[in-house]
Structure 1
């Protein structure tokens, strides 16, 4: 009886824990690759993929720019005359989630969309499928991602506040420097005016002294 309970809970645990498998294939622009997968009703299929293009200069696969390449994702119900239940466009590095509405064989197709020189080169398509039977399993992962994103947002917000604080400090220092410069310039101007007045008075005094001297000497 004890071993039966252990076996039962082991089966339940395996049922709840998501199953992950991944692989990669090579494609060219416009080529369509399809994979068949047997899914039971309410099964959650999560796919995480990435695209890399071949670079002849470096002789290796590199990550393209987001606007250079994309991916069309289609999911069809083979058992229902290939009825399409999912049709979406994704970027070169993203993921998708699909919930099976009925049990049966499903066909998942991927088609690379590219333009320019990328459309003529080979593309490496890396895909990881994750199958779960409990929506809470994926929900917990989504919550973890949301928490990580929230942490990144908080860090960015803190950095923005620090930058704003530094900018305010720079503005305050600039204002103080401007006030000091205006004060110094004002003092320089007044000092120049005073020097001119003193110089003028000195000239007048010297002229009067010379005039008195010449009068005494009967020159004038």
Structure 2
């Protein structure tokens, strides 16, 4: 009976994980230019964690000191580290939107030979589940169930976010349709007024010429 419950829990966990948007991003890229930025959409009150390492693309792969700057959608600084080849960031997002992480080399020549390897995790995947298990003295199944609960909550929040976006888009569409309708009415009235003015002008013109 316990085995059946365990299998059911793991099945639910797998299903929920499949439904959850991919929350772990791994990057490895060449800087090319002196400043290179990575952007990612992050939900409101979402946990964000990550790390990076900058090294020489050619040769022995020696570490390359760079500056890192992380900003929220409003341009507010949430993380900054200068003159270091490695760094770790961790924070809770204040609002929904596109977060930007920029790396800057000391000059263009250095950037040309620099490669960056980084990992960026959000939501459930950014949580340290080993620390949770150790702190609360949980076994593997209990940890997975706790993680499942977090996954379900994340999916619920994501669905609410999608619904809010749909409502905003619907409001925008309705507002646009109303404006277009009023614009068409105004254009029609202008056309009618111009036609009436032309008839009046032509009638007056021909009377003056004694044609009518």
TM range (shorter): 0.3 to 0.5
Select the structure of larger CA radius of gyration.
1
- Tell me the TM-score normalized by structure 2: 0.45
Greater fraction of residues in strand: 1
